[in-house]
Amino acid sequence: MERVLDVYKRPYNADFPVVCMDESPKQLIEEGRPSQGMKPGQEARVDYEYLRHGVVNIFMANEPLKGKRFVEVTAFKTKKDWALFIKKMADDWYPKAKKITLVMDNFKT
């Protein structure tokens, strides 16, 4: 853990960006019944029934010292999807970087 924290202490250098990356599955849901807004003397009412529309994966990369954030939504979370995201990062977002330090915990991918 200390080694990771030391990486975060590095000063900003455009040639050697420090990028944090993670992924997260998100369920696509829709309200089953519309909510009712507040009325005088009555709180808003929300029905918790919902309709499922599957799941997507969100990849996010963040360069904290530069204030950059990149997000990509994919239908799946496979090794290939992960590799394509990393390739896009290197080729499109950091083409002039000499070395990208990637902080991540992609256990499943």
pLDDT, tens digit (0-9, with 9 covering 90-100), for 67-94: 999 999 999 888 899 999 999 999 999 9
Question: Looking at the domain assignment, is residue 21 inside a domain?
Answer: yes
Count up the domains in the chain and report the number. 1
pLDDT class of 60 with cuts at 50, 70, 90: very high
Residue 67 lies in a domain: yes
Query: Which residue segment(s) compose the domain that 69 sits in?
Result: 2-33+59-104
pLDDT of residue 39 exceeding 70, the answer is yes
Asked if residue 48 belongs to a domain, the reply is no
Per the domain annotation, does 43 fall within a domain?
no
Q: What share of the chain in percent tops pLDDT 90?
A: 75
47 within a domain of the structure (yes/no): no
How high is the pLDDT of residue 106? 65
pTM value surpassing 0.85: no
Tokens for 10? 């590095």
Mean pLDDT computed over every residue of the chain: 91
CB-neighbour burial class of residue 102 (10 A; exposed 0-12, middle 13-18, buried 19+): middle
Is 29 contained in some domain? Answer: yes
